[in-house]
Amino acid sequence: MPPDPSPQPSLFDDLTRPKGSSLVAVPGSARALGKAQQAFNRLIAQIEQQRQALAQWQAAERQCHQRAAAELAPLLAEFHRIRRALALKLDALLAATAKGEKLSKRHRAIAQSVVVDLAMELMHEGPDEELQALLDRHGGPSVDEQDDIEEDFARALVSEILGEDLPEGASEDAVDAAMQRVRERLREQQDEQAAVLERQRETRAQRRRASGKGPTKADMAAQAREQAQKAAGQSVRDVYRQLASNLHPDREADPAERERKTALMQRVNDAYGRNDLLALLTLQIELEQIDPEHLAGLPDERIEHFNAVLREQLRELNAEVDEIARPVQRHLQRRLRRRGPAQPQDLDLILDDDIAQARSAAAALEDDLQALGDPKRRRAVLESMIEPADDEPDDFDQALMAMVMQAAPGRRRR
């Protein structure tokens, strides 16, 4: 997977392109190049384009997070304060009705339901003894009880998937570690199932060969894919070995040159670990191991092996860009009624909308808080509290809120 780009001073400064990467291309006009060579150049260009797009999205994300921390986080903290005050106000109102102040049975039920919901939401944002006492008075589950439910679910999964017993009262770290092992085991099971299917396919192919029948189209396609993957992997290893043989720092006597080669070798190892063929070829050009004419002289079969690796690189880059852009695009369509592909600068537009909505929600809740103190407005406010919310936070909002609130006190640990 391509590395995260380094911090950028401007949203669209292209500081992430590897040095020399624009030189990694087969020289010549499109007409003069073969099909594999044209595909190679096209893939290189697409990878560079997507790397720049990813860098722009990541820079926009960083700037959005900085703005959110400065502008949205204080609003969310104020919203938390008002919700807490509202829960306590409703609790006091219920206590007053118990002492004789008039409030219908329906409105008492609404107030109690809102108290419990608010307190539970707020307790998830951090422990609060006063809110816990409020929950106890109104029959709401405690945070510990909610943790118990989650722990019971985790214990059942651990028992079912791992065949282990999770101790009663296990710490949050122990539960998290056990659930991580569950996820790893599920991935292993998927790999095992895939291996079983592959062995079954191979067994059928062997029987078919033994009976004199030829392989099916599916068998031949699977074999071709397997051979192509092996050849592509070998091509990357060959490039890596050429670089490593030239750069091995242990063979260098001069300290300065050894340090330079150590840094370069680190880049080589990082690129090889990511299966980043473009970065490896770029390093070869930087070190003058190869040049564009060398690429032009490679046989089509070798270029096709490179192309297989580059296609996988491009697929991973596309997935990384899509992972950032997709929730932004959904947010634009759902909240701002705007269609079309999302752009990095849209993050500021969305944050502006979130800030405006947070201000509006806090002001409306503050008005409700004041209205509860007015007997003439109280019933209308309570009736409004049973109306469904206009909108639920989407993936983008949830991620943004989690980011700006990450410095807030966490849930209690056992």
Question: Quick check: 330 and 395 in contact, CB under 8 A?
Answer: yes
Residues 6+ apart with CB under 8 A from 301: none
Task: Determine the pLDDT at residue 262.
Answer: 85
Segment 25-83, tens digit of pLDDT: 888 777 788 899 999 999 999 999 999 999 999 999 999 999 999 999 999 999 999 99
193 three-class SS = helix
CA R_g for the chain: 30
Task: Determine the pLDDT at residue 83.
Answer: 94
**Cβ of 62: how many Cβ atoms within 10 Å?**
14
Segment 230-265, tens digit of pLDDT: 656 677 888 888 888 877 777 777 788 888 888 888
Q: Outline where 274-299 has alpha helix (H).
A: 277-286, 292-296
Residues 6+ apart with CB under 8 A from 135: 116, 119, 120, 123, 141, 142
DSSP secondary structure letter of residue 387 = S
Segment 359-377, tens digit of pLDDT: 999 999 999 999 998 888 9
Q: Where are the domains of the chain?
A: 32-404
User: Highest mean pLDDT: which of 15-19, 328-332, 343-347?
Assistant: 343-347
Task: Determine the pLDDT at residue 6.
Answer: 40
Q: Residue 225: pLDDT above 80?
A: no
